């Protein structure tokens, strides 16, 4: 269970997140929605500690995330993988090496410094690429791939970290509708098949409704809606998005059917 208790973040005199309290049970697929500037990215980044809260606490099980530093903080970041709008791959490296980067926290320091990957690590990375139908791209430079392919590589890299949670910050914001569906289906698969918690910032309400079990609506740094997608009425949605309602309430592709939800550890990739 991920628990945020009265978490706030200020940038100079601007309050980005204001007194957010939330409990997210393991295995949830949560969508964080709201208009631009509502505080969605800051909220996610605080969980991963890319941004430190100004006040409040974040706990995951018995770990007090807000107090971690050094190796303990690095370990935490390995347990909650981030996925970004701009993929954050190393463009000049091949796809397989990019995915192997996700194994860095799993291998002894000496080997990780020398980038000496075991056969097992390579097999895990290749199996992750296969999951998302991009194993044939393993030897290509990451920067030669389309946006949708790059985001699937980033998701494969996150998966081989064997995380407890994946935090996805607008993962489809720069993708076309077909790739949007492919990437959202990949996140859904990770959630359903491996039981990994997914918290995903989304601008499109249709997408959030289609994929998430629970929506958290933010406005001016506060949580103003927290519930199942079907509880979010059109009126509440219009309030949430204000002038952006037209764009945010547009139609989005439907997810794959939610079948075959077998829990399995990420290590079971091979
Ligand atoms: N590093 C920063 N320095 C100063 N202000 C910031 C910083 N990061 C965020 N903010 C401000 O905090 C508020 C919340 O920003 P945040 O990026 O969390 O919102 P968001 O809902 O993710 O928006 P978007 O959908 O546009 O990414 C905004 O007013 C933003 O300008």
What is the interface pTM, i.e. ipTM, of the complex? 0.96
The C-alpha atoms of residue 231 and residue 115 are separated, in whole angstroms, by: 49
Using the structure block, give the residue that is written with the tokens 């740094």: 221
CA of 140 to the centre of ligand 1 (A): 34
pTM of the model: 0.87
User: Looking at residues 118-145, what average pLDDT do you find?
Assistant: 93
CA of 172 to the centre of ligand 1 (A): 18
The C-alpha atoms of residue 243 and residue 251 are separated, in whole angstroms, by: 17
Nearest residue (CA) to ligand 1, atom 17? 41
Residues 205-235: tens digit of each pLDDT: 889 999 999 999 999 999 999 999 999 888 8
Ligand 1 atom at shortest distance from the alpha carbon of 9: 12
CA of 18 to the centre of ligand 1 (A): 13
Burial of 65 (C-beta count, 10 Å sphere; 0-12/13-18/19+): buried
Using the structure block, give the residue that is written with the tokens 């699937």: 152
Asked if the model's pLDDT at residue 266 lies above 80, the reply is: no
Q: What is the pLDDT of residue 252?
A: 57
Helical axes 147-160 vs 177-194, angle rounded to 10°: 10
Using the structure block, give the residue that is written with the tokens 């890319």: 50
SS3 at position 253: coil
CA of 83 to the centre of ligand 1 (A): 17
Question: Are 53 and 230 contacting, i.e. CB atoms less than 8 angstroms apart?
Answer: no
Question: Are 220 and 213 contacting, i.e. CB atoms less than 8 angstroms apart?
Answer: no
Q: Residue 152 belongs to what domain range?
A: 2-269
Task: Provide the number of structural domains found in the chain.
Answer: 1
CATH number for position 76: 3.40.50.300
Mutate to test the pocket of ligand 1, among 37, 82, 85, 220 (most ligand atoms within 8 A of CB): 37
Question: Are 100 and 117 contacting, i.e. CB atoms less than 8 angstroms apart?
Answer: yes
Ligand 1 atom at shortest distance from the alpha carbon of 203: 25
């Amino acid at each position: 269970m991920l628990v945020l208790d009265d978490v706030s973040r200020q940038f100079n005199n601007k309050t980005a997140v204001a007194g957010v309290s939330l409990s997210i049970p393991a295995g949830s697929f949560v969508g964080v929605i709201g208009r631009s500037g509502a505080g969605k990215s800051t909220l996610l980044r605080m969980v991963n500690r890319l941004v430190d809260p100004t006040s409040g606490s974040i706990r995951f099980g018995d770990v007090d995330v807000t107090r971690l530093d050094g190796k303990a903080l690095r370990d935490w970041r390995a347990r909650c993988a981030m996925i970004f709008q701009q993929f954050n791959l190393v463009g000049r490296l091949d796809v397989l090496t990019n995915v192997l980067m996700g194994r860095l926290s799993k291998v002894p320091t000496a080997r990780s410094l020398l980038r000496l990957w075991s056969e097992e690590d390579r097999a895990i990375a290749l199996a992750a690429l296969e999951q998302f139908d991009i194993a044939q791209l393993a030897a290509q430079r990451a920067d030669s791939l389309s946006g949708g392919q790059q985001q699937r590589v980033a998701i494969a890299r996150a998966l081989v970290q064997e995380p407890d949670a994946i935090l996805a910050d607008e993962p489809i914001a720069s993708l076309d509708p077909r790739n949007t569906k492919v990437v959202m289906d990949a996140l859904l698969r990770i959630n359903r098949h491996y039981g990994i918690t997914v918290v995903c910032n989304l601008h499109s309400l249709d997408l959030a409704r289609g994929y998430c079990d629970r929506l958290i609506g933010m406005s001016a740094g506060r949580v103003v809606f927290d519930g199942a997608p079907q509880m979010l009425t059109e009126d509440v949605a219009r309030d949430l998005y204000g002038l952006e309602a037209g764009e945010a309430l547009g139609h989005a592709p439907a997810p794959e059917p939610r079948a075959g939800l077998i829990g399995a550890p990420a290590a079971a990739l091979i």
